[in-house]
Amino acid sequence: MSSKVWGGRFTASPNQLVEEMNASISFDQALLDEDIEGSIAHVAMLARCGIVEEAEAEKLTEGLKKVHEKVTSGVATFSAQYEDIHMNVEMLLHEEVGELAGKLHTARSRNDQVATDMHLYLKKKVKNIMGLLKDVQHVLCDKAEAHIDTIVPGYTHLQRAQPISFAHHLLAYFWMFQRDTGRLEDSLKRIDVSPLGAGAIAGTTFPIDRTFTAELLGFDEVYPNSMDAVSDRDFIVEFLSNASMLMMHISRLSEEMIIWSSEEFKFVEFDDTFCTGSSMMPQKKNPDMPELLRGKTGRVYGHLMGLLTTLKGLPLTYNKDMQEDKEGMFDAVETLEKSLSVLAPMIESMTVRSEHMYESVKQDYSNATDLADYLVTKGMAFRKAHEVTGKIVLTAIQEKKNLLEVSLEEYQSYSPYIEADIYDFLRPENVVAARDSLGGTAPNQVKKQLNHAKSLLKSNY
């Protein structure tokens, strides 16, 4: 007979390699808290439903708490021989309460147990990630507030397009993160469901009370179908998808900050504590942190594709393939927690070089749309105004002048509509202030936007 918990029907034990492949304790030990919490609730339910004696339940509960204490203080250790967190806890419980430990698994399977652990884990982690995301949003609002009147070129195709308020640019990321918050919050509806009591696949012959354990564990609902309960990993796929989208936003922001910090742009400077030097080139200050955030996005996408692929061919219900759901999830959680934790202080401590931003705006032709709009307000059709402006810009480029340096005589040679007030019209401050449409970049609108953003930060959970 095999020495395994499930060894009864076996005549031989698995070989070393099989045992290694099979074991998940090296990573699923991260579920210790949830596993113990789930077991304590399960025991309470067994007693309430008369499946174990009250006194037995008390002993089991005390034993479980002891196991938790011993593991967290390093007195007890796990062994790969017992495969996973569930069986390791049971083995350690045996050391505490003897044969009684064998009653813990009454009316339960590792299939509903592991699913319960992961629901509990992800519920806790998603809430934590939402809190960290909120910190980033706060920092974005604070930076934006300080830079409502800071003018910077806005880009399309990475070519200067129209001048904008730097606050407007930062707040664009606030709204991306706000959608991420919404998605994470919504996903909690699907995470907050209890699979406990589904058994291995079909429920159990014991008179259990699933609603009671769900309540004890703080779940909102129970899965109505035991087969779905043990085979559902949608909530993890959904988390990885939300994590991917959030990382994509972090990555886009990182990419922009890397560009802005380059010598060519000189729009921002990172605090030394977020950069490293080069081992060969003494002058270098490399933006490693945003580069790593951009780089780590790839691994989170990878976890999403990995799990989708793992699940796509699985028949109901539990298959061992599903043990592969954990490492990617743990890694995505850790990546997000670290990324968000570094992003907030990195933005906060970043120096915004407003004067360089303004210099760039002054040198460019990003007020050309305003010249065309000016002609339109004077009665010219937009298409015509576009063409005339294009010609003026072409000559100005050839003569190495910006639009404020073109003389009135020259302007009038292109169109008699142009008068002396054109210079005021084309000043960067006025170009920005003129975009006073809802959601536009005029300081007036940006202030309203910022108030809206701040009120959301106050109101949501």
> 3, 73, 157, 437: which is the annotated catalytic residue?
157
> 26, 79, 262, 278: which is the annotated catalytic residue?
278
- Quote the least distance from Cβ 28 to ligand ARG, whole Å: 6
- Quote the least distance from Cβ 30 to ligand ARG, whole Å: 12
Closer residue to ligand ARG in complex, CB, 173/318: 318
- Site residues for ligand ARG per CB under 6 A: 24, 28, 84, 110-111, 114, 318, 320, 322-323
Which of 387, 388, 391, 393 has the alpha carbon at shortest distance from 368? 393
Closer residue to ligand ARG in complex, CB, 28/232: 28
- Quote the least distance from Cβ 115 to ligand ARG, whole Å: 9
Closer residue to ligand ARG in complex, CB, 239/270: 239
- Quote the least distance from Cβ 310 to ligand ARG, whole Å: 11
- Quote the least distance from Cβ 10 to ligand ARG, whole Å: 14
Assess whether 86 carries a catalytic annotation: no
- Quote the least distance from Cβ 317 to ligand ARG, whole Å: 9
Closer residue to ligand ARG in complex, CB, 9/320: 320
Q: What is the Cα–Cα distance from 148 to 165, expressed in whole angstroms?
A: 6
Closer residue to ligand ARG in complex, CB, 112/370: 112
Assess whether 341 carries a catalytic annotation: no
Closer residue to ligand ARG in complex, CB, 319/430: 319
Q: Per the omega criterion (within 30 degrees of 0), is the bond before 273 cis? A: no
Q: Which residues are catalytic?
A: 157, 278
